[in-house]
Amino acid sequence: MKELSLNILDIAQNSIRARATNVDIILKEDAETLTITVSDNGCGMKADFLKRVTDPFSTTRTTRKVGLGLPFFKMEAEMTGGSLDITSKSEEEHEDHGTVVTARFFKNHIDYIPLGNIIDTVCTLIHGAEEVDFLFLHEYGERSVMLSTREMREMLGDEVPLSSPEVLAWAREYLTEGYAELYR
């Protein structure tokens, strides 16, 4: 992947496929590190699948025997001296099921891939997931950018879908302003 924001889009699609209704995407950043956490309340994974989930030859897809989403993300984190952790509780075994993927990056490492267009990723997720609530939070030092689709829905009511062009345009401007402030 050319941007970490594309990995975030990809990992969040796993949550949607796991029938999650809530997906939290939290970025914590300082001058040296970036920690990306994607957590969901989806169906989760059992211990045996969890153990081999970062192996490229494990996948839930039915069209191919290779799944590269998590292996890529792990490799990209490790290339910078960072790491990737996954914890998961399967719905068969736990009431509070779901998955948490955490990746840590060292930004000053030469192999660090830039975050890229995170605004496009958030807008793409909002566009694609009428049945999922996203909480997006990016903290940089003391400042932060936050967008919650639950809060958006409360303002919009039941009638206006999140995928409406007017709503997506608003989200794009809201995040653009937020980011101008964040990296001020």
Partner 1 sequence: MKSLAELSAIREKMKGKIALREGSSDTRIVVGMATCGIAAGARPVLNAFVEEINNAGLVGDVTVTQTGCIGICQYEPVVEIYAPGKEKVTYVKMTPEKAREVVEKHIKNGVVISEYTIGNSKL
Residue 44 touching partner 1 (CB under 8 A)? no
Nearest CB to partner 1, comparing residues 86 and 167: 167
Cα separation of 101 and 37, whole Å? 6
Q: Is the dihedral of CA 94, 96, 97, 100 positive or negative?
A: negative
Judged by CB under 8 A, the residue of 22, 33, 58, 68 near partner 1 is 68
In the block, tokens 């790491």 appear at 83
Residue 122 touching partner 1 (CB under 8 A)? no
CA-nearest of 3, 41, 2, 12 to 127 is 12
Judged by CB under 8 A, the residue of 127, 139, 144, 182 near partner 1 is 127
Residue 1 touching partner 1 (CB under 8 A)? yes
Residue 55 touching partner 1 (CB under 8 A)? no
Size of the site for partner 1 (CB under 8 A): 37
Provide the token pair at 19: 């029938």
Nearest CB to partner 1, comparing residues 38 and 167: 167
**DSSP state letter for 64:** -
CB of 119 to partner 1, least distance (A): 10
Residue 177 touching partner 1 (CB under 8 A)? yes
Name, in order, each residue with C-beta under 8 angstroms of 169's C-beta and a sequence gap of 6 or more. Answer: none
Q: Is the dihedral of CA 64, 69, 70, 71 positive or negative?
A: positive
Provide the token pair at 150: 């639950």
Residue 109 touching partner 1 (CB under 8 A)? no
Alpha helices in the chain (DSSP H): 4-17, 47-51, 69-79, 118-128, 149-156, 165-182
Pick the piece of the chain touching partner 1 (CB under 8 A) from 35-43, 75-83, 97-105, 160-168: 160-168
Residue 61 touching partner 1 (CB under 8 A)? yes
Binding interface with partner 1 (CB under 8 A): 1, 6, 9-10, 13, 17, 61, 63-64, 67-69, 72, 117, 120-121, 123-124, 127-128, 151-152, 155-157, 159-161, 164-168, 170, 173-174, 177
